């Protein structure tokens, strides 16, 4: 593992924002990305809610739409309306979010927004190293490694064994149970971005103090 890659500036994504108060917190503490979850989840936001939240969001923070097996048209509409600027695919690579699906989505996004570059982030729910190796050739700009939890697509707050991640050329996000107690260790991985949700919540709501602490830790390195 190259030292320079490990010590590169890490980006931060705070996922699962649902309220204007959450947007006020990220506008103040400034992660690189925030996530709106359009999949079934306790953090789900409707298109209308996300549109309202996006209007409040600082324009230099990229809003990522998180999807699980969604129709391409729904994703393209959110991008066309300027509600999201990146697409995180968290569903099933076999059966729904296939390679063909990603290629069709890319074509549809390019047709709808020719001037915009809308990166795809391929989420991989890691059970073992094979899950990672299978995902490397998926047509996405980034990979995102999260924990496999049965019957839960994401936002579990559970960590996986990071030693399963080999050196890969494609940039990748690290997710799954990242918290104040693991963030320094995560800074020592080759991830380009650290993605948090559960650990920056209190009683199921985003907690500005926890967001501030995590972002300060990451930025102080
Ligand atoms: O957050 C959710 O509820 C969710 C539901 C369905 C698919 C994806 C979901 N979240 C995706 C994320 O990017 C989370 O930040 C990531 O899974 C990490 O969450 P956590 O382990 O809670 O930090």
CATH of the domain at 72: 3.20.20.70
Hey, what are 210's tokens?
Answer: 């926890």
Ligand 1 binding pocket includes 155 (Cβ within 6 Å): yes
How many domains, in total, are found in the chain? 1
192: annotated active-site residue: no
Catalytic residue among 32, 60, 128, 146: 146
Give the C-alpha separation, 64 to 84, whole Å: 6
ipTM of model over 0.90: yes
Q: What is the mean pLDDT of each run of 10 residues along the chain (221 residues)?
A: 58 98 98 98 98 98 98 98 97 95 97 91 95 95 97 95 95 97 95 98 98 95 82
Q: Which domain holds residue 185?
A: 3-219
Hey, what are 207's tokens?
Answer: 């907690």
The b-or-e profile of 87-123 (16+ CB within 10 A means b, else e) is bbbbbebeeebeeebbeebbebbeeeeeeeebebbbb
Ligand 1 centre to CA of 137 (Å) is 23
Index of the ligand 1 atom closest to the CA of residue 144: 13
- The per-residue pLDDT for 113 is 87
* pTM for this entry: 0.95
Ligand 1 binding pocket includes 122 (Cβ within 6 Å): no
- The per-residue pLDDT for 9 is 87
For 9, phi then psi, to 5°, come to -55, 125
- The per-residue pLDDT for 3 is 43
Q: Which long-range contacts (CB under 8 A, 24 or more apart) does 132-137 make?
A: 132/164, 132/165, 132/166, 132/168, 133/166, 134/93, 135/93, 136/168, 136/170, 137/99
Ligand 1 centre to CA of 123 (Å) is 10
146: annotated active-site residue: yes
């Amino acid at each position: 593992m190259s030292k320079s890659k490990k010590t590169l500036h890490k980006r931060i994504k705070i996922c699962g924002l649902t309220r204007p108060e959450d947007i006020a917190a990220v506008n103040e503490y400034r992660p690189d990305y925030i996530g709106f979850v359009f999949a079934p989840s306790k953090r789900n936001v409707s298109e209308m809610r996300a549109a309202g939240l996006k209007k409040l969001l600082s324009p230099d923070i990229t809003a990522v739409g998180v999807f699980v097996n969604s129709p391409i048209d729904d994703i393209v509409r959110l991008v066309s309306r300027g509600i999201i600027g990146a697409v995180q695919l968290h569903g099933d690579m076999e059966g729904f979010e296939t390679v063909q699906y990603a290629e069709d989505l890319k074509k549809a996004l390019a047709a709808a927004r020719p001037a915009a570059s809308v990166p795809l982030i391929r989420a991989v729910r890691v059970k073992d190293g094979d899950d990672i190796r299978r995902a490397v050739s998926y047509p996405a700009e980034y990979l995102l490694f999260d924990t496999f939890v049965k019957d839960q697509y994401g936002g579990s707050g559970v960590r996986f064994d990071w030693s399963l991640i080999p050196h890969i050329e494609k940039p990748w996000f690290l997710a799954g149970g990242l918290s104040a107690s693991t963030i320094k260790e995560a800074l020592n991985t080759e991830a380009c971005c650290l993605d948090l949700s559960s650990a920056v919540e209190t009683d199921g709501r985003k907690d500005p103090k926890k967001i501030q602490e995590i972002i300060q830790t990451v930025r102080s390195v």
